[in-house]
Amino acid sequence: MAHLLAIAASPAGPAHSFMIGEALQAAATTLGHTLVLQVRSSLGETGQYADDDLRRAAALIVVADDGEEFPDLPAGRVLRLQPQAVLDDAESALRQALATLGHAADPAPAVTQDRAHRVQAKTATNAQPGTAPAAARPLRIVAITACPTGVAHTFMAAEALEQGAQALGHAIKVETQGSVGAQNTLDAGDIAQADLVVIAADTQVDKARFEGKRLYSTSTKAAIRDAGALIQTADAQASVWGLAAAATSSAPGEAVRADAGSKAPRTGPYKHLMTGVSFMLPFVVAGGLLIALAFALGGIYVYDDANAGTLGWTLFQVGAKHAFTLMVPALAGYIAFSIADRPGIAPGMVGGLLANTLGAGFLGGIVAGFVAGYAVHLLNRHIRLPRTLEGLKPVLILPLLGTAIVGLLMFFVLGKPVAFAMAGLTDWLKGMQTSSAVLLGITLGAMMAFDLGGPVNKAAYVFSTTLIASGVATPMAAAMGAGMVPPLGIALACWIFRSRFSNEEREASKAAAVLGLAFITEGAIPFVARDPLRVIPACMIGAAVTGGLCMMAGIALQAPHGGIFVLAIPNAVNHVVLYAGAILAGTVVTALALGAFKKRLVSG
């Protein structure tokens, strides 16, 4: 019997990776070997191995794309296999591994200090707080968590950081910047006493108050996945913010790490877009619900001048003519803010307002935001002033030049082509036949359930919310209904198919049901993490059913969030009973699919 270690990381996606992992486990059991397996995918790392597993392993098997590197494994002992070869015949793949490496398996070289550091952190986070090894030097940590919608990921990351710090023996205070504002706010005393600042955010966070402190930025997903390892990495790689960093920073608000070899946090277009969306959402919510209330009070023609001065007409003016008018400027302004910090806000918002004026809509706002942000970013890098005049850059020079550049480009270069594309998209969506609408609903529904709050989910959500201001509200109904289905379907399955779930899962399903009703798709994440190969497809099937039914029935939703609770607001949804029925249908389909996919648990 041989002791094997395998890593499955298929480029085809998470489902493929878990299928490979299951095939390897089954083959190892059949051949009488023990296998330590780790699956790496966009959902994170599932399964862990320790230094002893590396030393004892007769073969280190990596099933991944040829271009992917694994620096934490000793290169001389690794056998790379193609994913398709393992899926075709996993037993032969294991035999080949033993034949190739088993006879010459020298004692493994000492594991690098970095790898040992990470394994220790993983072990610490999995331990109970009272039994974790004591930290080498206890730290005072302050942290901020924030996500685009300010709901689930914000608080999940905060809880994970608190548990990870406690397990490592550190003191921590976490400020959450959620949809209801900052909670557990860090005061000047907290920051002054802090040894380390950790920012786990998927949107832009103002770091000005942390000047002179050691700071490390990352994503909420990294904190949720392994907070203990994140804290140790932050301690090792954090750099002083605003002092040494300021001399070499290429843009205002851009952190520069002291360790040049460290991995920078993600600051690409996706994060900039999500920052814009997070600031745009309150305008969409307020405007959409005010329009719905106006229709409820004054009827479908409340906006006619004949109704001028009435409460319904006034609410319509506030919602449609003013709140919605600010939606695109807010989107553009805070995309630019994410890229270029505060000097980017004015150029971005002006560009967004021009996008409205020129008929370019949200597409124009996105273009204007990125143009403004990167224009100000480049200006800041290349304009050099005497130290005595540096204060003029953020308040005068950068906003002035940035606004002029984005304004001229929108008028003479970008505005008309983007407006033409926006008009074509709007006309296509409004004129879709039933079959095309159903296909769009199925696609949006499946995307909402694919990664449960990840990039694919957010892409479908952003597409739907930004269309509300253009008078196309049916995709929003499909997206929100489909996003409610995964946690609701799982909760129903735990009640109907009790033998497929543990007592712990059945208890957790109660919370998942509440989260689902509130349109917090992330309520399904704990169940997906335990059995992604079965749970994700079941959720996608049910969500696709809901999305397709919503589009088939022409259900339109004026509010981009709120879950089941917006149904009580008059005219927020045009077909309330049909909408509830579509959500119920998707929930039932998900539950039935889970009952079919999952196996009965072996008692005792």
Within a domain: 76: yes
Q: Are 163 and 230 in the same domain?
A: yes
Q: Are 556 and 446 in the same domain?
A: yes
pLDDT value of position 151: 58
Q: Are 76 and 169 in the same domain?
A: no
Within a domain: 144: yes
Q: What is the DSSP letter of 381?
A: H
Within a domain: 318: no
Within a domain: 272: no
Residue after which a domain boundary falls, among 248, 283, 309: 248
Q: Are 14 and 67 in the same domain?
A: yes
**Maximum Cα–Cα distance across the chain:** 90
Which residues lie closer than 8 Å to 364 by C-beta, 6 or more apart? 328, 352, 354, 355, 356, 358, 410, 414, 415, 418, 419, 422
Residue after which a domain boundary falls, among 96, 111, 126: 111
Judged by DSSP in three states, 162 sits in helix
Q: Are 57 and 162 in the same domain?
A: no
Q: Are 454 and 593 in the same domain?
A: yes
φ and ψ at residue 67, rounded to 5 degrees: -80, -10
Within a domain: 343: no
| 44-46 β-sheet, strand order | 44-46, 34-41, 3-9, 59-64, 78-81
- Distance CA(20)–CA(22), nearest Å, equals 5
pLDDT value of position 262: 35
Q: Are 103 and 120 in the same domain?
A: no
- Distance CA(129)–CA(140), nearest Å, equals 17
- Neighbouring C-beta atoms of residue 108, cutoff 10 Å: 19
Q: Are 90 and 183 in the same domain?
A: no
pLDDT value of position 114: 39
Return the CATH number at 213.
3.40.50.2300
pLDDT in tens, 408-425: 999 999 988 988 887 887
Judged by DSSP in three states, 486 sits in helix
pLDDT value of position 30: 79
Q: Are 493 and 540 in the same domain?
A: yes
> Mutual orientation of helices 113-126 and 152-168 as an angle, nearest 10°?
110
Q: Beta strands 181-183 and 196-201: pairing type?
A: unpaired
Q: What is the DSSP letter of 401?
A: H
- Distance CA(488)–CA(524), nearest Å, equals 8
Residues 369 and 269 sit within 8 Å (Cβ to Cβ): no
Within a domain: 300: no
Please report the DSSP string for 556-601 in residue order. -BS-SS-GGGGGGSTTSBS-HHHHHHHHHHHHHHHHHHHHHHSPPP
**Predicted TM-score of the model (pTM):** 0.53
Please report the DSSP string for 418-459 in residue order. HHHHHHHHHHHHHT--HHHHHHHHHHHHHHHHHSSSSHHHHH
Q: Are 85 and 170 in the same domain?
A: no
Q: Are 69 and 160 in the same domain?
A: no
**How far, in Å, are 162, 484, 511 from residue 542 at the CA level?**
34, 10, 19
Examine the residue annotation and report whether 539 is marked as an active-site residue of this protein: no
Within a domain: 58: yes
Q: What is the mean pLDDT of each run of 10 residues along the chain (604 residues)?
A: 79 67 80 82 69 76 74 71 78 72 40 37 40 61 81 79 90 82 84 93 83 88 86 88 48 37 52 82 78 76 84 89 88 91 92 90 88 94 82 88 95 90 74 78 92 76 79 89 94 92 85 85 79 91 96 88 78 89 96 92 61
Among the listed residues 147, 494, 539, 550, the single catalytic one is: 147
pLDDT in tens, 287-313: 877 877 887 787 767 778 888 889 989
Residue after which a domain boundary falls, among 198, 225, 248: 248
How many CA atoms within 13 Å lie on the side-chain side of 145? 25
Domain that holds residue 184: 116-248
Number of domains comprising the chain: 3
Within a domain: 178: yes
Q: Are 71 and 169 in the same domain?
A: no
Q: Beta strands 59-64 and 34-41: pairing type?
A: unpaired
